Amino acid sequence: MQPDKPHILLVNPWIHDFAAYDVWAKPLGLLILAAILRENGYAVSYIDCLDRFHPLGPQSDPYARNGRGPYLKKRISKPDGLEDVARYYCRYGIKESWFREDLTATKKPDMIMVTSMMTYWYPGVFDTIRIIKEIFPNIPLVLGGIYASLCFRHAKMFSGADKVITGSCEQRILEIVAKEIGYGGASGYTTLNIDDYPYPAYDLQNKISYVPILTSRGCPFFCSYCASAFLSPGRTVRNPDQVVEEVLFWHEKYQIRDFIFYDDALLVDAENQAFPLFEAIIRKERNVRFHTPNALHIREISKNTARLIFRAGFETIRLGLETALFDVRESLDRKVTEIEFCRAASNLKDAGFRKDQIGAYLLVGLPGQSLPSIEKSIMVVRENHITPILAYYTPIPHTKMWKSAVASSRYDIEADPVFTNNAVFPCMNSFSWDIVLRLKKLAAGEIDIIEKK
């Protein structure tokens, strides 16, 4: 009789926050690891604490709003030190009783893997781990992901995980599992070629409402507010033909229409990477839509680029503007000039994109940032007839801006990552909810200036 395959349980944890919404957020790294483990002879189970389509939950159309939608939520106590924040704090995701039932119904695993995303979401990660440990107290539990990588010491000290790992794990995952359960041990992948990896195991979800796609990893820019260079050192790219094959696979087998580019630098070296991909998609004449929540680099949007992405079916365009104070933006990045921004906006509109499809991210709450500078940036975007999208600044460890964030924050963000929550604007000068509300109105075009109080 053939022995049972070793069983690995993978868990996407709850979010604890003042606000959360599924804007195309999936644990891509965890689902790639699930696919690698499955390909190498392991039995794999997956529980998503953020599952909007849990069988016990209310039924909804998975394809509405291009796959986006609200999570279930339950009001919970605010973390220590944030009690004075005038907003409800909630656990987002499935009910605790459903999670316990799912764990109990799962065959006893040989190892459990939990991922993590935003640093300040760690309370949800800890709560998830606590309950897993109640059900499976003696099973090795490994924590990885973004929070674990950026806040390794904090995670190691307080998470309750048996082991905390950092960085991308595709090449190490089989060795990690072998050390924990004594099975296997081959490295799995001896090259950095991400085309060798199997497609992420999206089929483990109850429903697939959209599919994230990566054409590359890493970013050639070193923006002072971004941790991409720390999380994904260097840059690796996929063969455009392989990306097209993946899009067609999910579209034809699972009828997926909405594809989300998770790239940090989709348009870099576009002649060799993005353009062949877009041209192939156009030739295939499939009814698909593409979305870019991670933002496109403005400098790369020529007339030809704009025409190509319009014809390829891009539906949601986000631009990484960050600020329209072009003469002083070198402290942030060197990605774009005023002329380049205006030209990109014009090229996109000329290609056929509507104003509501084009949004420019503007950072709000940077260390030392003045209110007039934010107002000016919003007005510059509005004058170019595209949509200003306020992106609230999150202080991130291992970024160039971290030291100035620590110095300017009204919270002790070094001691506890929960205080880096962008919903509380930890580094914003003269913070008040009235200011934030008026900035929202200015961005929405409801007012034309910020009234002085």
Say if residue 449's pLDDT is above 90.
no
Which tokens hold the place of 191? 């090259």
Counting residues of the chain whose pLDDT is more than 90, the rounded percentage is 86
Q: What is residue 94's three-state secondary structure? A: coil
pLDDT for the residue 429: 81
Rounded to whole angstroms, how far apart are CA atoms 299 and 383?
Answer: 19
pLDDT for the residue 171: 87
The arithmetic mean of pLDDT across residues 111-139, rounded, is 98
pLDDT for the residue 431: 85
Q: What are phi and psi of 203, to 5 degrees?
A: -65, -15
Nearest to residue 129, comparing CAs of 49, 244, 187?
Answer: 49
Band of the pLDDT at 296, cuts 50, 70, 90? very high
The arithmetic mean of pLDDT across residues 340-354, rounded, is 97
More confident residue, 55 or 332: 55
Rounded to whole angstroms, how far apart are CA atoms 381 and 384?
Answer: 5
> If you classify domain 7-181 with CATH, what class do you get?
alpha beta
Q: Which of 2-6, 118-122, 151-155 has the lowest mean pLDDT?
A: 2-6
pLDDT for the residue 2: 44
C-beta separation of 143 from 114 below 8 A: yes
Domain 210-444: give its CATH code.
3.20.20.70
Band of the pLDDT at 450, cuts 50, 70, 90? low
Torsion angle (degrees, nearest 10) of CA 50, 56, 60, 65: 0
Angle of CA points 175, 179, 184, to nearest 5°:
55
> Which alpha helices (H) appear in 202-322, and where do they start and end?
228-231, 240-254, 274-284, 303-312
Say if residue 187's pLDDT is above 80.
no
Looking at the DSSP bridge assignments, the partners of residue 48 are 12
The arithmetic mean of pLDDT across residues 446-453, rounded, is 69
pLDDT for the residue 332: 64
pLDDT one-digit tens code per residue, 214-249 = 999 989 888 999 999 999 988 899 999 999 999 999
The single residue listed with the structure tokens 């599952």 is: 51
Say if residue 294's pLDDT is above 90.
yes
Which tokens hold the place of 269? 């070296």
| pTM of the full structure | 0.94
Nearest to residue 350, comparing CAs of 309, 313, 290, 381?
Answer: 309
The DSSP bridge pattern shows strands 358-364 and 211-213 to be: unpaired
pLDDT one-digit tens code per residue, 164-179 = 999 999 989 999 999 9
The DSSP bridge pattern shows strands 89-92 and 15-17 to be: antiparallel
pLDDT one-digit tens code per residue, 378-389 = 999 999 999 999
Q: What is residue 275's three-state secondary structure? A: helix
C-beta separation of 28 from 56 below 8 A: no
In the chain, domain spans: 7-181, 210-444
Say if residue 312's pLDDT is above 60.
yes
The arithmetic mean of pLDDT across residues 60-85, rounded, is 96
Q: What is the rounded average pLDDT for all residues in the chain? A: 93
Q: Which of 179-188, 353-362, 394-403 has the lowest mean pLDDT?
A: 179-188
Q: What are phi and psi of 46, to 5 degrees?
A: -140, 130
Q: How many CA atoms lie within 13 A of 56 on its CB side?
A: 12
C-beta separation of 194 from 173 below 8 A: no
3-class SS shares of the chain: helix, strand, coil, % to 5: 40, 15, 45
Say if residue 25's pLDDT is above 80.
yes
